[in-house]
Structure 1
C-alpha cells in the first residue's frame, strides 16, 4: 500500500518535472557525500535493520525454511531486494527535491518539501495523498518497531508480560508525536550521530566476521575504537557552546573527517585491523595447542 500511494507522487515527479532545479548550496555544495551520508542517519534505516532482522528471520522460518544456511541465503535475497527498492525511492525523492527548487522556496526539512510538492501537483487532493503516504509509512514502521521490541523483550525478559511491553511501546510514542519535526530532529540528531557509527560498524564487522574462524577481538576492538569518536560526534552535533564542551571537542580535531561527523571512520578501521590481527594470533595459538 505504501509503495502504491508513494508511486502516485513519484510518477508525477518523473513524468511532469516542476523545474530544472538550482545549484546546491552550503555543505551540499562543498561536501555533498559526507553531508548526505550523515543526513541519512535520520532515516534510521541501519538501526531499523538491526531491529527488524528478527522479524525477517522469523518470517522465513514460518515459511518452512529451517536450515541456517538457507535462512541466511533468503535473508540476503530479501535484503538485496529491499535495498534496491529503497535506492530507487531515495533517488526519486532526491529528484523531487531538486526539481522543486526554483519553483518552490527552500524548506527546513523534507516534510515541508513533500507537502509543498504534493500540493503543487494535486492541490488539496495532494494534501490528502501525502497524509495517506505519511500514515501508512509511519504505521508500517511502528508495527515493525513495536513487534521487534516486543519479541526482543520477550526473549530477554521472559517473565515480563508481552502485552504490557507492547502497551508501553505503543503509548510512549504518543507523547513524542505531539512535537514538531524540527524539534524532534534537534533532539534525535545528536543521539543518532552517537549511535549510528556503532550500528554501521556492527553490520560491517558482522559481514566481515564470516571470513574468520575466531572474531571475538574483531568485534570488541572495532566497537571499542568507535566508542569515543562516536560520542564526540554526538556531542558536536548538539551545538553546545559551553567551555567544557569546547574543551572536550578539541580532541576530535585530531580525527580525520570529524568536522563532517565522520570522525569515527578511521579509528573503527584501525580497531578492525587490530582485531583481525589479534584473532589470527589467537587462532594460531589455539591450533598449536
Structure 2
C-alpha cells in the first residue's frame, strides 16, 4: 500500500526525462535523484515513526499555530493544489488521451469527473485501504512495471547519448533537485500518519510494534521505488533512437513503449499510468481528509468528497501550467521539510529543542525562498556569490551552520535535552 501511495505521476514521468538528458552522466544524475526521491522519503517515514507516528510528534517543539500552518500548506500542496490534480492530469494525458482522435477540454473534464469519483469511492472506505490498495491494485501495477523493466534491459531502443544542459557539469545536483518534483518527502511526512491509522485499525496498539511496521512499510516502498526509478532512468538514457526531440518524460515513455510492444504497448502503459496515479490520489485524498477532519468539525467522509471535487476542478487547469506553478513552491518548502526530518533525529542532542527548531527551520525557509525566487524567474544574480546558489541549494550550508550553532545554545529552563 505504501509503495502504491508513493508511486504516482511524478515518479513515472520525471525519471525518463532525467535519464534522457543525463545521457552518459546517468549514473551520477540517478544517484542524486535517488537521494531526494527514495532516501529522503524513507528517512521521512522513519522520522514519523521515531517521533511517535504523527505530525504533533514531529513538530512538538514548534508553536502549535506554526506547526498547523506548515501541515495545512503541505497538505494543500500534495492534495488539491498540485500533486493530486497532477496525477489525474497525467492519467488523462498518458493513459486515456492516446486512444482519442480529437481530444479537447470536454474530454478532459469528463475524465476528471470519472477519475476522481473512483478515487473518492476507494478513499471513503478508510479502514480497508490495505485490502483495496495493497492486495488488489499494487500487485497489478507492479507486475506491469516489471514487464516494462525487463523489456528495457533485454531490448534497449538506442545508445546512450552525451549529457545535455545542466547534466553536463552538474549531473548529481540536477538529479537531486529533479527529485523534488516527486513531492515524496512531503508525502512521507503525511502518509506516515495515515499508515499509522491503518496499522492501528488492524489491531496493533503497541507503539513499539506500530513504529516497527511503519519502518517495514517505508523500506518496502523505498525498495520498490528504487527498482522503478533505475529502470526508468535506463529507459530514458537509451531512448535516443525512438524519442528524439520528445518534450517531456511522458512523451519519451510513450514512444519507448510503442517501439517495444507496438499498439499493445499503449494498453500496458495506460494500465501502469492509470493504476499508479489512481493509487496515489487515493492516498493523498485519504491523508488530507484524515488530517483536516481533526482540525474542523467536518467528518472524514465529507472531507473526502470536498477534496475529490476540488481536485477534479483544479485538474482542468492543464498539466504544463500546473507544473510551472508548483516548482517554485517546491523549492521554497522542500528544504524546510528536509530540515524538519533532520531535526527529528538530532533533537536529543539539542540543549534547547524549541530554540533549535525555530532557528533551523527559519534559516532554511529564508534561504529556500531565495532559490524559489530564482526558479520563478526573478533576477537574483546579485546573490550568485552565495555557496551552492547556482546549484539551487543556497539553503543547505546556512541550514547546516544553524544546526551546529544551536547545538551550543543555552539549555532550556526546566527541561532536559532528552525530554
Deviation at 1:213, TM superposition (A): 7.4
Q: 1:170 aligns with which of 304, 308, 317?
A: 308
Does structure 1 retain, via aligned residues, the 8 Å contact 2:351–2:407?
Answer: no
Which position in structure 1 is the counterpart of 2:377?
239
Look up the match of 1:243: none
Offset of 1:264 from its aligned partner? Answer: 0.7
Structure 2 unpaired stretches of 5+: 1-139
How many residue pairs align between the two structures? Answer: 277
Match of 2:223 in 1: 84
From 177, 190, 193, give the equivalent of 1:54: 193
State the 1:212 CA deviation: 5.2
1:107-122 alignment runs, 5 A limit: 107-122=246-261
Displacement, 1:198? 1.2
Q: For 2:159 and 2:389, locate their aligned partners in 1 and report how far apart those are by CA, in whole Å.
A: 34
State the partner residue of 1:189.
327
Distance in 1, matches of 2:192 and 2:327, equals 23
Gaps of 5+ in 1: 241-245
Tell me what 1:101 maps to: 240
Instruction: For residue 177 of structure 1, give the secondary structure of its aligned residue in structure 2.
Output: helix
Aligned counterparts of 2:216 and 2:351: Cα–Cα separation in 1: 24
Query: CA 1:130–1:188 in structure 2 vs 1: closer, same or farther (change >3 Å)?
Result: same
Deviates more, 1:173-182 or 1:189-198: 173-182
> What SS does structure 2 have at the residue aligned with 1:263?
coil
Match of 1:6 among 128, 131, 145: 145
Residues 191-206 of structure 1: pairs in structure 2 closer than 5 A: 191-206=329-344
**Alpha-carbon separation, structure 1, partners of 2:233 and 2:244:** 16
Structure 1 Cα separation of the partners of residues 354 and 207 of structure 2: 21
Measured on the aligned residues, the alpha-carbon RMSD in Å equals: 2.0
Q: Which residue number corresponds to residue 275 of structure 1? A: 406
Larger C-alpha radius of gyration, 1 or 2? 1
How much has 1:230 moved relative to structure 2? 0.9
Regions of 4+ moved over 6 Å: none
Q: Deviations over 1:58-102 (max 9, x none)?
A: 122223322223322222222122112211211111001001124
Does 2:200 match 1:69?
A: no
TM-score between both structures, scaled by the size of structure 2: 0.62
Deviation, 1:180, is 4.0
TM-score (normalizing by structure 1): 0.88
Query: Per the alignment, in what secondary structure is the counterpart of residue 30 of structure 1?
Result: coil
Q: CA deviation at 1:13?
A: 0.5
Alpha-carbon distance between aligned partners in 2 of 1:75 and 1:208, rounded to the nearest angstrom: 20
- The answer to whether residue 219 in structure 2 is matched with residue 219 in structure 1 is no
Distance 1:83 1:214 in 2: 33
Query: Alignment partner for residue 298 of structure 2, among 160, 166, 172?
Result: 160
1:148 aligns with 287
Q: Which of residues 252, 256, 277 is equivalent to 2:387?
A: 256
Cα separation, 2, equivalents of 1:201 and 1:179? 32
